[in-house]
Amino acid sequence: MRRGLMAWSQQEIPAGVLEKRVAALVAGMRARGLACVLAYTDLTRPAAVSALTHFIPYWSNGVLVVSPSAGATLVVTLSGRVAEWIRSTSRLDDLVNTLDLGTGVAERISTTEKGAIRVGIVELSSFPSSVVAAIRKLHPAIEFEDATDLLNAALAQEGLRTDVVAARTIAIARVALAAGAAEAGGRDANAVVAAAEGTARREGAEEILLAVAPDAVADPRLRRIEGAALLGDAFALQVSVAYKGCWLRIGRTLSSGALPPWIAETDAWFERLVSEIATGAPPNVAIPTALTRLPGATLDSWRAETARAGLALAVVAGSAPFSSERPLPVAPITLTLRLRRGKGWWFSAAPFVFARARSPA
Amino acid sequence: MPGALARERLEKVRALCRNHGWDALLVYGNAWRCDYLRYVSNFPILEGHGFALIEAEGGLRLFLESPMEAERASIEAPGCEIVCQPGILAVLAAHLEHSRGRRLAAAPMRLMPYGVAGAAGDALEDAGDAFDRLLMQKSELEIDAVRRAARMADAGYEVFRRAARPGRTEYELVADVEAFFRSQGCPDNFMIIGSGGREVRGMHPPGERRLRAGDLVTTELTPCIDGYYAQICRTLVIGPPTVEQNAAFGLYVQSMEAGLAAVRPGATAAEIAWRENDVFRARGLGEYTTNKYTRVRGHGLGLYVDSRPALLEDVDTPLTEGMTIIVHPNTYHPDVGYIVLGDSAVVRSDGPEVLTATPRSLFSVPA
Candidates 3.90.1170.50, 3.40.50.2300, 3.40.470.10, 3.90.230.10; correct CATH number of B140-365? 3.90.230.10
Residues forming CATH 3.90.230.10 domain(s) in chain A: 163-352
Residue among B160, B190, B158 nearest B326 (CA)? B190
Q: String of b and e for A283-318 (b: at least 16 CB within 10 Å)?
A: beebbeebbeebeebeeeebbbbbbbbbbbbbbbbb
The C-alpha atoms of residue B219 and residue B202 are separated, in whole angstroms, by 10
**A15 in contact with B at a CB cutoff of 8 Å?**
no
**B208 in contact with A at a CB cutoff of 8 Å?**
yes
**A5 in contact with B at a CB cutoff of 8 Å?**
yes
Taking CA–CA distances from B44, the nearest residue in chain A reads A224
**B268 in contact with A at a CB cutoff of 8 Å?**
no
B215 CB-near residues (< 8 Å, 6+ apart): B195, B196, B197, B237, B238
Three-state secondary structure call for residue B363: strand
Kindly give the parts of chain B with pLDDT less than 70.
1
**CATH number for region A15-155:** 3.40.350.10
What architecture (CATH level 2) is domain A163-352? Alpha-Beta Complex (3.90)
B100 CB-near residues (< 8 Å, 6+ apart): B123
B139 CB-near residues (< 8 Å, 6+ apart): B8, B322
Length of chain A, in residues: 361
Residues forming CATH 3.90.230.10 domain(s) in chain B: 140-365
Q: What does the pLDDT read at residue A142?
A: 92
Q: Which CATH class is domain B2-136?
A: alpha beta
Q: B298 with B308: CB under 8 angstroms?
A: no
Q: What does the pLDDT read at residue A309?
A: 79
DSSP state of A185: G
Taking CA–CA distances from A122, the nearest residue in chain B reads B114
Q: B96 with B120: CB under 8 angstroms?
A: yes
| Cβ-nearest to B75 among A3, A223, A324 | A223
Residues forming CATH 3.40.350.10 domain(s) in chain B: 2-136
Q: What does the pLDDT read at residue A349?
A: 98
Q: What does the pLDDT read at residue A357?
A: 47
Q: In whole angstroms, what separates CA B234 from the centre of its chain?
A: 17
Q: What does the pLDDT read at residue A359?
A: 47
Chain-chain contact of B226 with A201 (C-beta, under 8 angstroms): no
Query: Chain A: nearest CA to B175, how far in angstroms?
Result: 5
Chain A residues in contact with B76 (beta carbon < 8 A): 223-224
Contacts with B, A 177-206, CB within 8 Å = 190-191, 193-195, 197-198, 201-202, 204
Q: What does the pLDDT read at residue A330?
A: 67
Query: Chain A: nearest CA to B291, how far in angstroms?
Result: 8
Torsions phi, psi for B229 (to 5 deg): -100, 140
Taking CA–CA distances from B294, the nearest residue in chain A reads A81
**A46 in contact with B at a CB cutoff of 8 Å?**
no
Residues forming CATH 3.40.350.10 domain(s) in chain A: 15-155
**A11 in contact with B at a CB cutoff of 8 Å?**
no
**B30 in contact with A at a CB cutoff of 8 Å?**
yes
Q: In whole angstroms, what separates CA B335 from the centre of its chain?
A: 30
Q: ipTM value, please give it.
A: 0.95
Chain A residues in contact with B152 (beta carbon < 8 A): none
Length of chain B, in residues: 367
Q: Which amino acid is at B151?
A: R
Q: A65 with A94: CB under 8 angstroms?
A: no
Taking residue A156's Cβ as centre, other Cβ atoms within 10 Å add up to 16
Q: What does the pLDDT read at residue A157?
A: 81
Q: What does the pLDDT read at residue A343?
A: 77
Question: Are β-strands A61-67 and A36-42 bridged in parallel, bridged antiparallel, or unpaired?
Answer: antiparallel
**B152 in contact with A at a CB cutoff of 8 Å?**
no
Chain A residues in contact with B67 (beta carbon < 8 A): 303, 315, 320-322
Q: A209 with A176: CB under 8 angstroms?
A: no
Q: What does the pLDDT read at residue A324?
A: 59
Q: What does the pLDDT read at residue A221?
A: 97
The C-alpha atoms of residue A346 and residue B6 are separated, in whole angstroms, by 33
Kindly give the parts of chain A with pLDDT less than 70.
1, 110-115, 160-161, 320-330, 355-361
